[in-house]
Structure 1
Amino acid sequence: MSVICPARRQLLLGLGGAAMFSVIPSKAMASRSTQGSRALSLYNRHTGEHGGGAYWIDGHYQSDVMSDFSHLLRDHRQNLAVPMDKRLYDILYSLRETLDTRDDIHVISGYRSPVTNAMLAAKSGGVAKQSYHMRGMAMDIAIPSVKLKNLRDAALSLKLGGVGYYPDSGFVHVDCGPVRHW
């Protein structure tokens, strides 16, 4: 029969309790990820339209704001809009946080219809035939107050999807496909 002194028993109980509570997230930690809001301000360079607002509030995506954003990100050549993947907005929000800017995000391209994508692919070798733009999962963006290289580096650091760097065209491509870069 082993005897454990009271001081050692207290130590073991304390360590066991600490270990148990360290793996159970606190209510404060859990609520922090679902409380608050995420807002964006977008500018479409082709149409001159601005749009902004809180697209996510207290853990819920705001369908009215997301619908407005999808319209702003439409294929302006065909005047067609689709619901854009909500993960794109989260990528843009994370970029703004990483870069510590509240400036407008300039959108060069959002949704592309298959007709527009085929036309652009015929003109340029840099347009993918199965582009994520056609699925509402990609945007080509710039933030005028941020150097393009810094925007690219921030997007790469997030590891949230594809990142393309087009310095001659003045934009960075971001998508919510697999993590990759070019």
Structure 2
Amino acid sequence: MTKTGSNVISRRGVLRGFAAASLCAAPVYANAAGFLRGSGDIRRIRMYSGRTGESMDTIYWIEGEYIQEALKEVTYFMRDWRNDKLKSIDARTVDIMAAAHGLMDANEPYLLLSGYRSPETNSMLRSRSSGVAKNSLHLKGQAADLRLKSRSVNQMAQAAQSCSAGGVGKYRGSNFVHMDCGVVRSWNG
């Protein structure tokens, strides 16, 4: 880290500056598959947690490389908020979330309802609801339950399904969509 006057210049600051400048030149993809395979682009994820009051807006991939510091930020943000336990979040899930968000052309960040779930939390939720899987991909850091005020559950699910890259569950009654990087499948549709 270099300090000049009251300004602090860090590697992350340089990367964010580069990414911000590159945003204007980033290619627009017609579908998520191009976004997920593309090179020469940047990938950004924006989320808010109503449970913790935290917000996150980070560029986690530039020019074919994941930014490990940014993925650590995603992992911390998506922690089990009930007990602050962490599990590395699978970058493939973040890619699906980012691709779906881009396809919807949404300006608002995702509202994260659930990311990583510890075994204790998953067991507690299973005891309260039949909709919680015993071997949920949330336990592996490979799933997220998300909401957008400006998009319906159907719109979100269609965007995620167009990625053809994981599982998509629609929960209309609770107004959220589950996205994961597991086997391609969908439910509650």
TM-score, normalising length: structure 2: 0.77
**Alignment-mate amino acid for residue 172 of structure 2:** P
Equivalent residue, structure 1, for 2:63: 58
Equivalent residue, structure 1, for 2:152: 147
**Alignment-mate amino acid for residue 167 of structure 2:** G
Q: Take 2:73 and 2:172, find their aligned partners in 1: how far apart are those partners?
A: 29
Q: Write out aligned runs for 1:159-170 (5 A).
A: 159-170=164-175
> Among residues 79, 87, 91, which one is paired with 2:84 in the alignment?
79
Q: Take 1:174 and 1:85, find their aligned partners in 2: how far apart are those partners?
A: 12
Q: Take 1:178 and 1:33, find their aligned partners in 2: how far apart are those partners?
A: 21
For 2:56, what is the secondary structure of its paired residue? strand
Superposed CA offset, 1:34-80 (max 9, x none): 21311111111211110111100111101111111111100011111
For 2:121, what is the secondary structure of its paired residue? helix
> Is it true that 1:157 corresponds to 2:162 in the alignment?
yes
Q: Write out aligned runs for 1:105-124 (5 A).
A: 105-124=110-129
Q: Take 1:101 and 1:168, find their aligned partners in 2: how far apart are those partners?
A: 22
How much has 1:144 moved relative to structure 2?
Answer: 1.2
**Which is helix-richer, 1 or 2?**
1
Superposed CA offset, 1:87-142 (max 9, x none): 01110111022111232011100000000000000100000000000000000001
> Is it true that 1:89 corresponds to 2:89 in the alignment?
no
> Is it true that 1:133 corresponds to 2:127 in the alignment?
no
**Matched residues, percent identical?**
38
For 1:158, what is the secondary structure of its paired residue? coil
Equivalent residue, structure 1, for 2:7: none
For 2:162, what is the secondary structure of its paired residue? helix
How much has 1:158 moved relative to structure 2?
Answer: 1.8
Bigger radius of gyration among the two: 1
Equivalent residue, structure 2, for 1:22: none
The count of corresponding residues between Structure 1 and Structure 2 is 151
CA-based RMSD: 1.2
**Alignment-mate amino acid for residue 75 of structure 2:** S
**Alignment-mate amino acid for residue 74 of structure 1:** R
Unpaired runs of 5+ residues, structure 1, are 1-31
**Alignment-mate amino acid for residue 67 of structure 2:** Q
Q: Take 1:57 and 1:102, find their aligned partners in 2: how far apart are those partners?
A: 21
> Among residues 75, 79, 84, which one is paired with 1:70 in the alignment?
75
Unpaired runs of 5+ residues, structure 2, are 1-36
TM-score, normalising length: structure 1: 0.80
